[in-house]
C-alpha cells in the first residue's frame, strides 16, 4: 500500500519548502531572495547530484530545476526523482533559457509539472509556484481522505465480521443452556412421582446453573455497552480486599472441582480500601475464568494480590496454551479471539470487559505470554485506604 505524501507547508509561518537547483549562483540568489520574501523556506543546490542528496534529508513541497547543468542535466535529475517512491510525488517546475516546444514536451515527458523560461519574471514565478503548491496541498488532502476512507471501510468490515462471529458464538452459547433447561424441565414434568427428591434437586441445580450462565452472558454484553457509552463509572466503596479476593478464589476453586491447583496469596498491610467492588469482581472473575478455561486439567494457577498505600496489584498466572505473539496486540478488542483457541468456546468479550474496567479505575494492565508455556496478567489499580483502619493496624 502506498503511503500518503506529506507536506511541509503546515509548519507555523512557512508557506512551503522549495528546493532550487541551478548551477548559476546569480539565479540561485535571485530566486531564493524572491521566494524567501514571500514566506517560503528555500534550499538550494548547484548540481543534480547535490539535489538528489538534498531531497532525502529535507521534506520538500516543490522543486525548481534548471535543465542545462553539467554532468547531469535537469531531465536526468527529474527521471531519478520520479523513479524513487520517496520523491516521486514532489512537483518539479523546470527552469530553462530554451523556449522550443520540443524542450517543453520533453520536460513534461520526464515528469515535470510546469516550465518557466528565463529571464525570470517575479509575478510569473510566484504565480506558478503558488499554483502548484496549492495543487499539491489538494492532492495530499485528497489522498489523506482516501486513506482515511479506506481505513474506516476496513475497520467497518472487520467490525461486521466480528459481529457476525459474535452472533454465531452467542447463539451457540445461549442454545446450550436453553437446551439444558428444556431437557431437565421435561424430565421434571414427565418424571412425576418416579423421581426421587435427590434427582429433582439435581435437575433443579442444573436448570439454575444454565440460567446463571445465560445471565452471565447477557451481563457481559450489557457491561460492554454501558462502559463504551459512558453510563458506567468507577464508584469506589470501602472493601475488605483480602476477604473479597479470597471469596472469589474459593468460589472458583469450588467450581473447578479440584481439576486445577489454584494457589492464592495476599501480601501487604492494607485491609480496607476504596475500590469499585462490581468492576473489580468483573476483572478478577474474567481473568481467573480465562486461566482455567485455557489451561490443561491439573495444571497450576496462581492468584497473587499485593496491596500498599497507593495501589493494589493483582497477578494471575497460568500454565495454559498461551497467546501467540501476533495476537497479543489485539487481545483487548471486543469480540476478538486468538488463533490458537481451537474448539474452546468463548465470546471474545472477557478481556475487552477487563480492559474497560481497568480503564474506568484509571489503572494499568500488563500481559506476558508464550504460546505453549502460559500467561501472566498483572492489573494495577489505584486505591484509597481507610486511613483510620490503616493507622490502627500500624499501631497494633
Buried-exposed string 193-205: b where 16+ CB fall within 10 A, e elsewhere: eeeeeeeeeebee
pTM of the entire structure? 0.50
- The C-alpha angle 289, 349, 154, rounded to 5 degrees, equals 145
**Longest C-alpha distance within the chain, in Å?**
112
DSSP one-letter code for 122: H
- The C-alpha angle 33, 36, 38, rounded to 5 degrees, equals 115
Helix (H, G, I), strand (E, B) or coil at 207: helix
What is the full per-residue pLDDT of the chain (396 aa) written as tens digits? 444 455 555 454 557 889 999 988 888 888 888 899 888 889 989 898 899 988 888 888 899 999 988 889 999 999 999 998 888 889 999 988 877 888 889 999 999 999 988 887 878 888 888 888 888 888 888 888 888 898 888 888 877 776 676 666 666 667 778 888 888 888 888 887 788 888 888 889 889 888 887 887 777 667 666 666 666 678 889 999 999 999 999 888 887 777 888 899 999 878 789 999 989 998 999 899 889 988 988 899 999 999 988 899 999 999 989 988 888 888 787 666 777 777 676 666 778 888 988 988 889 999 999 988 999 999 999 987 543 333 323 333
Q: Is the CATH number 3.40.50.2300 carried by domain 17-120?
A: yes
CATH class of the structural domain 153-229: mainly alpha
Unique residue bearing C-alpha cell 431437557: 183
Question: What pLDDT shows up at residue 157?
Answer: 82
Do you find a cis peptide bond into 119, omega within 30 degrees of 0? yes
Question: What pLDDT shows up at residue 378?
Answer: 96
Unique residue bearing C-alpha cell 472477557: 350
Residue ranges covered by each domain of the chain: 17-120, 153-229, 237-395
Contact 316, 302 (CB under 8 A): yes
Nearest residue to 19 via CA among 96, 273, 53: 53
Contact 40, 8 (CB under 8 A): no
Nearest residue to 314 via CA among 381, 234, 236: 381
Question: What pLDDT shows up at residue 335?
Answer: 66
Question: What pLDDT shows up at residue 251?
Answer: 87
Alpha carbon of residue 358 to chain centroid:
16
Alpha-carbon distance of 343 to 349, in angstroms, equals: 17
- The C-alpha angle 287, 332, 319, rounded to 5 degrees, equals 40
**Architecture field, domain 237-395:** 2-Layer Sandwich (3.30)
- The C-alpha angle 124, 127, 133, rounded to 5 degrees, equals 135
- As to burial, measured by CB atoms within 10 angstroms (0-12 exposed, 13-18 middle, 19+ buried), residue 381 is buried
Amino acid at each position: 500500500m502506498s503511503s500518503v505524501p506529506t507536506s511541509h507547508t503546515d509548519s507555523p509561518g512557512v508557506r512551503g519548502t522549495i528546493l532550487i537547483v541551478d548551477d548559476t549562483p546569480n539565479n540561485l540568489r535571485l530566486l531564493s531572495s524572491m521566494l524567501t520574501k514571500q514566506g517560503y523556506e528555500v534550499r538550494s543546490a548547484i548540481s543534480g547530484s547535490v539535489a538528489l542528496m538534498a531531497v532525502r534529508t529535507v521534506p520538500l513541497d516543490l522543486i525548481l530545476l534548471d535543465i542545462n547543468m553539467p554532468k547531469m542535466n535537469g531531465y536526468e535529475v527529474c527521471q531519478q526523482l520520479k523513479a524513487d517512491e520517496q520523491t516521486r510525488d514532489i512537483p518539479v517546475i523546470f527552469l530553462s533559457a530554451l523556449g522550443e516546444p520540443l524542450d517543453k514536451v520533453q520536460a513534461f515527458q520526464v515528469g515535470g509539472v510546469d516550465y518557466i523560461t528565463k529571464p525570470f519574471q517575479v509575478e510569473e514565478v510566484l504565480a506558478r509556484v503558488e499554483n502548484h503548491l496549492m495543487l499539491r496541498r489538494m492532492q495530499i488532502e485528497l489522498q489523506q481522505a482516501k486513506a482515511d476512507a479506506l481505513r474506516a471501510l476496513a475497520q467497518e468490515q472487520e467490525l461486521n465480521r466480528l459481529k457476525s462471529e459474535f452472533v454465531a458464538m452467542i447463539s451457540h452459547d445461549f442454545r446450550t443452556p436453553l437446551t439444558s433447561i428444556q431437557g431437565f424441565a421435561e424430565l421434571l414434568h414427565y418424571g412425576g412421582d418416579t423421581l426421587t427428591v435427590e434427582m429433582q434437586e439435581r435437575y433443579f441445580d442444573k436448570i439454575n446453573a444454565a440460567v446463571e450462565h445465560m445471565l452471565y452472558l447477557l451481563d457481559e454484553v450489557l457491561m460492554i455497552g454501558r462502559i463504551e457509552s459512558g453510563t458506567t463509572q468507577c464508584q469506589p466503596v470501602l472493601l475488605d480486599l483480602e476477604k473479597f479476593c479470597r471469596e472469589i478464589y474459593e468460589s472458583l476453586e469450588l467450581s473447578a472441582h479440584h481439576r486445577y491447583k489454584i494457589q492464592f496469596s495476599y501480601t501487604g498491610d492494607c485491609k480496607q480500601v476504596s475500590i469499585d467492588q462490581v468492576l473489580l469482581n468483573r476483572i478478577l472473575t474474567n481473568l481467573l475464568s480465562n486461566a482455567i478455561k485455557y489451561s490443561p486439567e491439573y495444571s497450576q494457577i496462581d492468584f497473587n494480590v499485593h496491596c500498599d498505600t497507593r495501589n493494589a496489584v493483582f497477578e494471575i498466572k497460568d500454565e495454559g496454551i498461551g497467546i501467540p505473539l501476533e495476537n497479543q496486540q489485539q487481545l483487548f478488542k471486543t469480540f476478538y479471539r486468538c488463533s490458537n483457541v481451537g474448539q474452546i468456546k468463548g465470546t471474545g468479550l472477557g478481556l475487552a470487559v477487563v480492559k474497560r474496567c481497568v480503564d474506568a479505575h484509571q489503572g494499568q494492565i500488563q500481559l506476558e505470554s508464550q504460546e505453549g508455556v502460559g500467561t501472566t496478567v498483572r492489573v494495577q489499580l489505584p486505591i484509597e485506604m481507610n486511613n483510620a483502619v490503616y493507622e490502627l493496624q500500624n499501631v497494633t
